[in-house]
Amino acid sequence: MRPEDIVAASLELVAERAGDPAAAVYGRLFAAYPEMEALFVRDTSGAVRGEMLAVAFECILDIGGAGAYAANLIAAERVNHEGVGVPPEVFGRFFPLLAETCRELLGADWTPEVDAAWAGLLARLDAVVRGLLPIGDPR
Protein backbone atom coordinates (compact mmCIF):
# COMPACT_ATOMS: atom_id res chain seq x y z
CA MET A 1 0.00 0.00 0.00
CA ARG A 2 1.17 3.54 -0.72
CA PRO A 3 2.03 5.65 2.36
CA GLU A 4 -0.80 8.10 1.62
CA ASP A 5 -3.28 5.17 1.54
CA ILE A 6 -2.00 3.89 4.88
CA VAL A 7 -2.32 7.39 6.35
CA ALA A 8 -5.82 7.78 4.84
CA ALA A 9 -6.86 4.46 6.40
CA SER A 10 -5.48 5.57 9.77
CA LEU A 11 -7.51 8.79 9.55
CA GLU A 12 -10.65 6.78 8.81
CA LEU A 13 -9.94 4.67 11.86
CA VAL A 14 -9.49 7.82 13.97
CA ALA A 15 -12.92 9.04 12.79
CA GLU A 16 -14.49 5.63 13.53
CA ARG A 17 -12.99 5.41 17.00
CA ALA A 18 -13.03 8.98 18.18
CA GLY A 19 -15.33 10.89 15.81
CA ASP A 20 -14.18 14.40 14.96
CA PRO A 21 -10.59 14.79 16.25
CA ALA A 22 -10.79 18.61 16.21
CA ALA A 23 -11.13 19.03 20.00
CA ALA A 24 -8.13 16.76 20.64
CA VAL A 25 -6.02 18.44 17.93
CA TYR A 26 -6.70 22.00 19.10
CA GLY A 27 -6.37 20.97 22.74
CA ARG A 28 -2.86 19.75 21.93
CA LEU A 29 -2.09 22.87 19.89
CA PHE A 30 -3.16 25.27 22.65
CA ALA A 31 -1.30 23.25 25.31
CA ALA A 32 1.91 23.60 23.25
CA TYR A 33 1.30 27.22 22.16
CA PRO A 34 -1.16 28.86 24.59
CA GLU A 35 -0.69 32.24 22.92
CA MET A 36 -2.27 30.88 19.70
CA GLU A 37 -5.69 30.29 21.24
CA ALA A 38 -6.63 33.99 21.30
CA LEU A 39 -6.08 34.21 17.52
CA PHE A 40 -9.20 32.06 17.03
CA VAL A 41 -11.36 34.55 18.94
CA ARG A 42 -13.56 35.23 15.89
CA ASP A 43 -14.16 31.51 15.34
CA THR A 44 -17.10 31.27 17.74
CA SER A 45 -18.69 28.27 15.97
CA GLY A 46 -15.48 26.25 15.43
CA ALA A 47 -16.07 26.33 11.66
CA VAL A 48 -12.69 27.96 10.92
CA ARG A 49 -10.88 25.39 13.09
CA GLY A 50 -12.79 22.60 11.34
CA GLU A 51 -11.96 23.94 7.88
CA MET A 52 -8.30 24.44 8.77
CA LEU A 53 -8.09 20.85 10.01
CA ALA A 54 -9.77 19.51 6.86
CA VAL A 55 -7.31 21.44 4.67
CA ALA A 56 -4.35 20.16 6.71
CA PHE A 57 -5.57 16.57 6.18
CA GLU A 58 -5.84 17.24 2.44
CA CYS A 59 -2.25 18.53 2.42
CA ILE A 60 -1.01 15.44 4.24
CA LEU A 61 -2.67 13.13 1.72
CA ASP A 62 -1.62 15.26 -1.28
CA ILE A 63 2.05 15.40 -0.30
CA GLY A 64 2.23 11.62 -0.73
CA GLY A 65 1.23 12.10 -4.38
CA ALA A 66 1.92 15.04 -6.67
CA GLY A 67 2.21 17.47 -3.79
CA ALA A 68 1.52 20.58 -5.88
CA TYR A 69 -1.75 21.35 -4.09
CA ALA A 70 -0.03 21.12 -0.70
CA ALA A 71 3.01 23.14 -1.78
CA ASN A 72 0.89 25.99 -3.18
CA LEU A 73 -1.51 26.03 -0.27
CA ILE A 74 1.28 25.99 2.32
CA ALA A 75 3.06 28.84 0.52
CA ALA A 76 -0.09 30.97 0.55
CA GLU A 77 -1.27 30.08 4.04
CA ARG A 78 2.13 30.66 5.59
CA VAL A 79 1.90 34.30 4.49
CA ASN A 80 -1.77 34.62 5.53
CA HIS A 81 -0.97 33.12 8.91
CA GLU A 82 1.99 35.41 9.51
CA GLY A 83 -0.48 38.24 8.90
CA VAL A 84 -2.83 37.02 11.63
CA GLY A 85 0.06 36.46 14.09
CA VAL A 86 1.13 32.84 13.56
CA PRO A 87 4.98 32.74 13.29
CA PRO A 88 6.22 30.54 10.40
CA GLU A 89 7.99 28.13 12.78
CA VAL A 90 4.72 27.58 14.68
CA PHE A 91 2.75 27.23 11.43
CA GLY A 92 4.76 24.15 10.41
CA ARG A 93 4.25 22.50 13.79
CA PHE A 94 0.58 21.87 13.02
CA PHE A 95 1.29 18.72 11.00
CA PRO A 96 3.39 16.93 13.67
CA LEU A 97 0.83 17.95 16.32
CA LEU A 98 -1.85 16.39 14.17
CA ALA A 99 0.13 13.15 13.87
CA GLU A 100 0.76 13.03 17.64
CA THR A 101 -2.97 13.44 18.26
CA CYS A 102 -3.86 10.61 15.88
CA ARG A 103 -1.22 8.39 17.48
CA GLU A 104 -2.71 9.04 20.91
CA LEU A 105 -6.28 8.39 19.69
CA LEU A 106 -5.35 5.14 17.93
CA GLY A 107 -3.31 3.62 20.74
CA ALA A 108 -2.23 0.09 19.76
CA ASP A 109 -3.67 0.55 16.25
CA TRP A 110 -0.90 3.06 15.53
CA THR A 111 1.28 0.24 14.18
CA PRO A 112 4.92 0.52 13.04
CA GLU A 113 3.61 0.50 9.45
CA VAL A 114 1.28 3.43 10.20
CA ASP A 115 4.09 5.24 12.01
CA ALA A 116 6.47 4.82 9.06
CA ALA A 117 3.86 6.04 6.56
CA TRP A 118 3.11 9.14 8.64
CA ALA A 119 6.83 9.82 9.19
CA GLY A 120 7.48 9.84 5.45
CA LEU A 121 4.68 12.30 4.70
CA LEU A 122 5.59 14.53 7.66
CA ALA A 123 9.20 14.71 6.46
CA ARG A 124 8.04 15.87 3.03
CA LEU A 125 5.71 18.46 4.54
CA ASP A 126 8.51 19.67 6.79
CA ALA A 127 10.76 20.09 3.76
CA VAL A 128 8.06 22.15 2.04
CA VAL A 129 7.54 24.33 5.12
CA ARG A 130 11.30 24.76 5.71
CA GLY A 131 11.96 25.50 2.07
CA LEU A 132 9.75 28.52 2.47
CA LEU A 133 11.52 29.78 5.57
CA PRO A 134 14.08 32.57 5.16
CA ILE A 135 17.69 31.39 4.68
CA GLY A 136 19.52 31.38 8.01
CA ASP A 137 16.39 30.70 10.01
CA PRO A 138 17.56 29.15 13.30
CA ARG A 139 15.21 26.15 13.07
Which residues in this chain contact ligand HEM in the complex, by CB under 6 A? 29, 36, 39-40, 42, 48, 51-52, 55-56, 59, 73-74, 77, 81, 84, 86, 90-91, 93-94
* Least distance (Å) between residue 35 CB and ligand HEM: 9
* Least distance (Å) between residue 130 CB and ligand HEM: 13
* Least distance (Å) between residue 114 CB and ligand HEM: 21
DSSP string, the chain: --HHHHHHHHHHHHHHHHS-THHHHHHHHHHH-GGGGGGGTT-SSSHHHHHHHHHHHHHHHHHTTT-HHHHHHHHHHHHHHHHHT--HHHHTTHHHHHHHHHHHHHGGGS-HHHHHHHHHHHHHHHHHHHHTSPTT---
Nearer Cβ to ligand HEM (107/139): 139
Nearer Cβ to ligand HEM (44/112): 44
